[in-house]
Amino acid sequence: MKNLATEARHKAIDIANALLEEGYEESRAIAIATAQAEKWAANRDKPVRKPGAKGETGNALND
């Protein structure tokens, strides 16, 4: 999550918190939240990753 752009990271945190409240394990909630936040940002033409961030944070954009 540290390589996500600020707005996408905030969205991922919101999603992860909701999933944790529903009883998901933390590692699973983070993985799902990161993928969903990437999709959310990409669908709104918002930056997905911080400028200069290397690598992929997930495969959400490949769906």
Question: Taking 90 as the threshold, does the pLDDT of residue 4 lie above it?
Answer: yes
Sequence-distant (≥ 6) Cβ neighbours of residue 23 within 8 angstroms:
none
Q: What percent of the chain has pLDDT over 90?
A: 67
> Which residues, 6+ apart, have CB-to-CB distance to 1 below 8 Å?
9, 12, 13, 30, 33, 34, 57
**pTM (two decimals):** 0.79
Q: What residue ranges do the domains of the chain occupy?
A: 1-44
**pLDDT at 56 exceeding the cut of 60:** no
* pLDDT tens, residue by residue, 7-47: 999 999 999 999 999 999 999 999 999 999 999 999 999 88
> For residue 51, what pLDDT is reported?
82
pLDDT exceeds cutoff 90 at 2 = no
